[in-house]
């Protein structure tokens, strides 16, 4: 067990296909989706506190409303362990937009569990995954970020081969927020959830389509069932998606529950085509922010020692990770 300091990246997540089934007894919905981490990422720093006391979590770069999921994850893991553990000091540097459908809070919770596990000597993933499942549908996939075929409410994870070939994403942040809970309520009101037996067929098709490392599913599986609900709540989103379609990606779709939109480019010159599309969309002035990103490599989120954590260098990043 080491007192740190350590740092870890917390990659955002996109859904390469999101199919929604009926609500469960716990209020969540059955899902079938491919969860893919990307290179847009928050960064977390952690160490054990020199003096005894409570855990401290500071968020830099954004104001988080309500309970901060990083602190909730650390507290939940502490309760789940049989022995008392030292207090932690954690700094979260935000890059993932809040309430954007990119699982930024879940990514931070997953990174916090990885870092706390390293600092507290938790050698197995099982306890971390058990805690993650209590925190939200997207959190289990963020404990060990990689491409997963996810079912249940997102807690049942089947690893898929890492994507091969060139692929780039253009992320387009809408100039407004959108509540995940409100989008799911609207999906229920519109009668969008699919029957359970249909979800099983889609799961099998996605597994087959991506079983050899293909970068993207076929177009008929790159569907987000929540789009009609999000567009019903925010008609402007449908207009913004049409702007993406016009710049020529392989596919444009809503990310998660939104309001961030994705344009996906695959094949030779994918990053260059995504960058050109970003220039064209930037001239429209309709988006709050545009990023070109890629799929995250498997080791992106691994905790690493850091020599200049933010509580020692005035908040400057240590770029060794």
Which pLDDT score, from 0 to 100, does residue 125 have? 79
How confident is the model over 101-123, as pLDDT tens digits? 788 899 999 999 999 999 999 87
Alpha-carbon dihedral angle through residues 151, 114, 124, 299, given to the nearest 10 degrees: 80
β-partners of residue 20 are: 31
CATH class in words for 6-160: alpha beta
Which is nearest to 145 in space by CA: 160, 134, 130, 165? 160
How confident is the model over 230-262, as pLDDT tens digits? 999 999 999 999 999 999 999 999 998 989 999
Exactly one of 42, 55, 108, 138 is catalytic; name it: 138
Which pLDDT score, from 0 to 100, does residue 62 have? 65
Question: What residues does each domain of the chain span?
Answer: 6-160, 167-293
Which pLDDT score, from 0 to 100, does residue 312 have? 55
Question: What's the CATH architecture for 167-293?
Answer: 2-Layer Sandwich (3.30)
pLDDT at 14 > cutoff 80: yes
Distance CA 61, CA 41 (A): 13
Mean per-residue pLDDT of the chain: 89
User: Helix, strand, or coil here: 283?
Assistant: coil
Which pLDDT score, from 0 to 100, does residue 321 have? 36
Which pLDDT score, from 0 to 100, does residue 1 have? 54
pTM of the model: 0.89
Determine which helix (DSSP H) or strand (DSSP E) holds 42, and give its type and residue range. strand 29-48
β-partners of residue 63 are: none
Distance CA 35, CA 159 (A): 10
Which pLDDT score, from 0 to 100, does residue 63 have? 60
End-to-end CA distance of the chain: 20
Task: Say if CB 171 and CB 213 are below 8 A apart.
Answer: no
Q: Is residue 138 flagged as an active site residue?
A: yes
Exactly one of 9, 13, 72, 241 is catalytic; name it: 13
Task: Say if CB 256 and CB 170 are below 8 A apart.
Answer: no
pLDDT at 154 > cutoff 90: no
Q: How many helices (H) and strands (E) does the chain have?
A: 10, 11
Q: Is residue 13 flagged as an active site residue?
A: yes
């Amino acid at each position: 067990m080491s007192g740190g300091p350590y740092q870890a990246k917390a990659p955002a997540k996109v859904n390469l296909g999101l199919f929604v089934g009926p609500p469960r007894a716990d209020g969540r919905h059955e899902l079938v989706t491919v969860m893919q981490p990307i290179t847009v990422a928050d960064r977390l720093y952690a160490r054990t506190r020199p003096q005894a006391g409570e855990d401290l979590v500071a968020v830099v770069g954004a104001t988080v409303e309500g309970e901060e999921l990083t602190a909730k994850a650390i507290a939940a893991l502490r309760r789940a362990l049989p022995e008392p553990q030292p207090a932690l000091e954690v700094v979260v540097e935000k890059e993932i937009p809040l309430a954007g459908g990119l699982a930024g809070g879940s990514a931070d919770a997953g990174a916090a569990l990885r870092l706390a596990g390293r600092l507290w000597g938790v050698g197995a993933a099982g306890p971390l995954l058990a805690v993650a499942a209590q925190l939200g549908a997207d959190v289990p996939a963020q404990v060990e970020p990689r491409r997963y075929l996810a079912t249940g409410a997102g807690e049942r994870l089947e690893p898929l081969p890492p994507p091969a070939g060139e692929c780039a994403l253009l992320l387009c942040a809408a100039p407004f927020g959108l509540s995940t809970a409100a989008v799911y309520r609207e999906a229920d009101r519109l009668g969008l959830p699919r029957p359970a037996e249909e979800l099983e067929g889609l799961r099998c098709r996605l597994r087959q389509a991506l079983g050899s490392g293909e970068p993207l599913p076929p177009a008929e599986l790159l569907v987000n069932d929540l789009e009609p609900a999000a567009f019903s709540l925010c008609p402007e989103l449908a207009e913004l998606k049409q702007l993406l379609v016009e710049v020529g990606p392989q596919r444009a779709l809503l990310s998660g529950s939104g309001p961030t939109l994705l344009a996906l480019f695959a094949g030779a010159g994918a990053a260059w085509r995504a960058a050109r599309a970003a220039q064209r969309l930037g001239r429209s002035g309709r988006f709050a922010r545009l990023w070109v990103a890629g799929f995250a490599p498997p080791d992106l989120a691994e905790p690493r020692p850091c020599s200049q954590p933010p509580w020692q260098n005035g908040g400057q990043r240590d770029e060794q990770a």
